[in-house]
Amino acid sequence: MPLPQIFAKITKNDCEVVTMNLFWLIELCSSAIILLFLIYKLQTSKSFRHLDGILKKRLTRPINGTFWSIIEFLNAPKLIAFWDTLLAIFLFFNGSIKKGIWVLCTLAFTDLVGIFLKHTVKRKRPSENKRPSYSFPSGHVLSITSLSLIIWQIYGGMIGISLFFILFTLWCLVVFSRIMLKAHYPSDIVGATILSIFCFLLAQPFFS
């Protein structure tokens, strides 16, 4: 078939699909590269870890510990899994079975990758925090970022910018709680956010 006829058959929708797939691939590769670079620096660079510790100290302020502890509790990974399950059940009852399964699988996959990284990197928590679990990536930030992306994927088009601000505010509260309670370094939070975005992008093509 002559080239002019081939190009004539390429519709506007085809171009949009190609563009969307290209942006998706760029975002996926970019998040993977940033995450790998961050892990590499944490494993090999003492100066990077030192700067991370300095930044943590500068961000930490005298706080109302009760407020941030409540934020921590309400957004614990296990409780986020509970909210995620409720969302899936709601979708099931509304006939969106595939979306419900996608919701459950996306968060479960993200959490499993996060657990794997915790036990691979084996980064100790800040000295002020005596919890026996590892620090990188932050499980709270990983879970809330994943759930926020899931909710935005499903309802963002319907509710719009107001939903974005609600989810972003909640995400910020969780992030601040991790710093204020001295549970994580800033890089733990950045790593959790990037990892959650990466896992979400991997799951996105299965959304229907």
Structure tokens at 103: 């919701």
| Per-chain mean pLDDT for the chain | 86
Contacts of 118 (CB under 8 A, 6+ apart): 133, 134, 135, 136, 137, 139
pLDDT tens digits, residue range 55-100? 888 887 766 678 888 888 888 999 999 999 999 999 999 989 999 9
pTM of structure: 0.86
- Tell me how far apart the alpha carbons of residues 75 and 161 are, in angstroms, rounded to a whole number: 22
Mean pLDDT of 179-188: 88
Exposed, middle or buried: residue 156 (CB in 10 Å: 0-12, 13-18, 19+)? middle
Q: Say which residue the tokens 């986020």 belong to.
A: 80
Count H helices and E strands in the chain, helices first. Answer: 9, 0
- What is the predicted pLDDT for the residue at 11? 58
| 149 Cβ contact partners less than 8 Å away, ≥ 6 residues apart | 196, 197, 200
